Structure 1
Amino acid sequence: MIPPVPAHDGDRPGDLPDLTRTPRSGVDLVGTLLSAWTETNPLRREAALTASCTPDVRYTNPIGQAQGRPAVAELLGRIARSYPTLRPVRISAIDLHHGYGRFEWAMCLPNGHRVLEGLDVITLSADESRIAEVVAFFGPTDRTTTYTYGASAHGEP
């Protein structure tokens, strides 16, 4: 298993965002987005999404989709009400390039036990100031020993 890149100051997995300032980096945007998942106050949830996402943000996971901040806020609210003890925690560094990013996360119980792990792939707005799309994958990503462009899923041509 390949360990994540060591975190830098202000980029430690599990760090909470500073909601008193405007997000300035991918780390801030992702942290603010994750804070919306556990926010019980709908207005604060919407404020976190406004600070981190474009108005027409799209969110897709294996069981559903939502488009637009109000629809994403409602989806996150339903999830939070259904699983009130779980909170999302970023468990990897954030890999960003050319307006795209990826990071691993876990839904954790208060004692830190990981109930579900996954990977999010994000698309940033053209000016990279907000998240325009989130595509979530549930479960761990299978690892291969060799990566070859155009190879099968198991690293074989």
Structure 2
Amino acid sequence: MNDIVERYLATWNAVGADRAHLLASHWSASVTYVDPLAAVRGHSGVSAMIDEVHAQFPGFVFTQLGEVDAHHQQLRFRWGLGPEGDEPVVIGFDVVVLDEDGRIHDVRGFLDKVPA
């Protein structure tokens, strides 16, 4: 399941055509994403949300923190957002559910650390 998290975070770090390719290849067209700040559906909704995060935190990158915990078609993991190589400014915890084809179908996000 580490490969799912790698593709998930790669999508969050990607821009333009690279992100569109990752979404088309690894995310269900009917994906649902919900966290304390957003609730979106579909590739366009996820991409627009990622654009907003990039605008708010220019140059920051998402990284995996710790191990992935997974069973059946679901996994959970922690992530950090910050300048590359520095301590994360934002830390979160996501639960991802895959569809029958192994694509990201549902994401439930939680924020553990946010800047003041």
Relative to the length of structure 1, the TM-score reads: 0.67
Query: Does the residue aligned with 2:66 lie in a helix, a strand or coil?
Result: coil
Give the deviation of 1:85 after TM superposition. 2.2
1:99-154 alpha-carbon deviations (Å, 9 max, x no partner): 11100111121342210111100111124x111011110006xxxxxxxxxxxxxx
Q: Which runs of 5+ in 2 are unaligned?
A: none
Q: Is structure 2 residue 37 aligned with structure 1 residue 63?
A: yes
> What does residue range 8-23 of structure 1 map to in structure 2 within 5 Å?
none
Query: Does the residue aligned with 1:139 lie in a helix, a strand or coil?
Result: strand
The equivalent position to 2:82 in structure 1, one of 98, 108, 121, is 108
1:54-99 alpha-carbon deviations (Å, 9 max, x no partner): 1111111101111001111111112112211211111121111121
Q: Which runs of 5+ in 1 are unaligned?
A: 1-25, 141-157
Q: What is the CA–CA distance in structure 2 between the aligned matches of 1:32 and 1:98, rounded to whole Å?
A: 18
Runs of 4 or more above 2 Å deviation: none
**Corresponding residue number in structure 2 for 1:36:** 11
Q: What is the CA–CA distance in structure 2 between the aligned matches of 1:29 and 1:114, rounded to whole Å?
A: 21
Give the deviation of 1:53 after TM superposition. 0.8
Identity %: 25
Higher relative contact order (CA 8 A, sep 6+): 2
Corresponding residue pairs, total? 113
Give the deviation of 1:51 after TM superposition. 1.9
The answer to which structure has the higher helix fraction is 2
**Corresponding residue number in structure 2 for 1:125:** 99
Q: What is the CA–CA distance in structure 2 between the aligned matches of 1:110 and 1:31, rounded to whole Å?
A: 16
> What does residue range 76-87 of structure 1 map to in structure 2 within 5 Å?
76-87=50-61
The answer to which structure has the higher strand fraction is 2
Deviates most, 107-116 or 71-80: 107-116
Larger Rg: 1
